[in-house]
Homo-oligomer: A and B are copies of this chain.
Amino acid sequence: MIITVVGIGLIGGSLALALKQNGFAQTILGVDRNVQHANRALGLQLVDQIVSLEKGVEEADVVILATPVNAIVHLAPVVLDLVERQIVIDVGSTKERIMQSVAVHEKRGRFVGTHPMAGTEYSGPEAAIGDLFEDKCTVLVDVDKSDPDALGKIQELYKSLKMNIVYHESHEHDIHTAYVSHISHISSFALALTVLEKEKNEKRIFELAGGGFSSTVRLAKSNPDTWVPIFEQNRDYVLDVLDEHINTISKFRTLLIKKDFDAFHKMIQQANQIRKIVK
């Protein structure tokens, strides 16, 4: 099988590595508008060859769109225009707008919307990791709109990566990822900014940053070129959960002001319930 990866960064590059390593693909073609990215991806042997978008689609069995989500919205219908028998998937972190972009396309059946829920705070071809996806969850959306053979092949692809497949409607996916993933990023960005603002002495942050701070601000290193389009597309759901988050932090402030440490204790106990869910 020939797989073409469009956008060879953290996610696209990791898919390229893993699908070649596990034998699902014999050949990986790479497409990247950024020439430096493309050359580095080739140098790192993430892809066998760099090709144009047109050639990449023509020669592929499966085309994977792994650019930032704003680019996917433009690319998805353009790529479907070029498709005969090929299957096209995207791996974006939002789904509703992307699925709308192909909703009435005559080749809609060849498209499968997916979101493999894995990543790190790093980006670019160098960030690619062969086992990034193992034992993680991937979401497939609006699967009744995809041709059965296309869907079947993509299920095989994700199973070859040892991923657990779950099925959502696209808007439902966006709500839940706003709750579970996108809000974590804003919380982490804000924490980093707060500490950088209050603690002007960077050496002191470095000294005092134990494992706790490091893990809580880890996501604050994430690339704005990836994340701003996600927040743009998922704005309404993110705003909703962000309001709840600000209210909750404000409750902690109110209890500190009132010195109501019994209620503070109870809130921490409630927060501890996350132990049941996240190991």
Contacts and interface: CB of A to CB of B under 8 A. Distances in A.
Given A189-B267, A245-B194, A216 B218 contact: yes
B212 A219 contact: yes
A246 interface: yes
Interface in A171-185: 176-177, 179-181, 183-185
Interface stretch (A82-90, A104-112, A248-256): A248-256
A268 interface: yes
Q: How many monomers of this chain does the complex have? A: 2
A22 to B, nearest CB: 21
A222 interface: yes
Contacts of A256: 231, 235, 238-239, 242
Contact of A189 (B119, B202, B208, B268): B268
A193 interface: yes
Interface in A208-257: 208-224, 227-228, 231-232, 235, 238-246, 248-250, 252-253, 256-257
Interface of A: 117-121, 136-137, 139, 164, 166, 176-177, 179-181, 183-199, 202, 204-224, 227-228, 231-232, 235, 238-246, 248-250, 252-253, 256-257, 259, 261, 264-265, 267-279
